[in-house]
Amino acid sequence: MTKPLGHKAPQDHTGALTPSERFAMRPIAIARSPYKERFGAPRQASVTRETRDGEVAEGVIELLPEIPLESLRSLEGFDYLWVIYVFHLNDGASTGQTRWPALVRPPRDPEHQHGLFATRAPHRPNPIGLSALRIARIEGRAIHVRGLDLLDGTPVIDLKPYVPYADAFPDAKAGWVDEAEARGRR
């Protein structure tokens, strides 16, 4: 008996994985940033209030030599890029033994504690961050970006294009952030 075209027998790709399995990741790029210390760096890529100069920072995401240059092909047509990186200066980040709080007081709502996973606090069980950065231009292995909130030397573990139809939810609720804004916190 022949199978119809496009039909594939069911497969189990997850049965062998265990929840405690570790994953090794290596940087693919390094951020070159005007920010050398946490003080004065933006808390979010699009937020420049309370930064040292109050301006949108420019920087470079520089591919490491072992990453093929061809991996950037067609990226120049995108306005924004998701940059996934490691908070490499967090205590224990290099050993995988980070300390993190279950509750935090975020800068936008310091009067209230919120669960870590309801915030973007940098001290996390896995010290990874995510920023949507505007692509200014691409020159060889260098992706020039605007709105940088990474410190100089930050290891980048992945890049993904920002795709508005899949990544933008303009009517989405933002929980406590909406409530803090209603109280005048920005």
How confident is the model over 18-60, as pLDDT tens digits? 766 677 889 999 999 988 876 666 555 555 444 455 666 789 9
Distance separating alpha carbons of residues 63 and 72, to the nearest angstrom: 9
Q: Decide if 9 is inside a domain.
A: no
Residue 96 has pLDDT above 60, yes or no: yes
Q: Which domain holds residue 57?
A: 29-95+129-167
pTM of the model: 0.80
pLDDT at res. 93: 67
Total structural domains within the chain: 1
pLDDT at res. 50: 47
Q: Decide if 89 is inside a domain.
A: yes
Reported as a single tens digit per residue, the pLDDT across 118-163 is 998 888 888 899 999 999 999 999 999 998 889 999 999 999 999 9
Q: Decide if 114 is inside a domain.
A: no
Q: Decide if 155 is inside a domain.
A: yes
Alpha-carbon dihedral 3, 6, 7, 8, rounded to 10 degrees: 110
- Cβ distance 144 to 62 under 8 Å? no
Q: Decide if 102 is inside a domain.
A: no
Q: What CATH number corresponds to the domain at position 139?
A: 2.40.30.70
Q: Decide if 144 is inside a domain.
A: yes
Q: Decide if 13 is inside a domain.
A: no
Q: Decide if 179 is inside a domain.
A: no
pLDDT at res. 24: 81
Alpha-carbon dihedral 134, 53, 151, 146, rounded to 10 degrees: 10
Percent of the chain whose predicted confidence (pLDDT) is above 90: 47
Extract the runs of DSSP E, i.e. beta strands, from the chain: 29-32, 58-63, 80-86, 103-104, 114-115, 128-139, 142-146, 155-161
Q: What is the mean pLDDT of residues 157-171?
A: 94
Q: What is the mean pLDDT of residues 174-179?
A: 90
- Cβ distance 112 to 105 under 8 Å? yes
Strand partners, 82: 132, 160
Choose between 28 and 110: higher pLDDT: 28
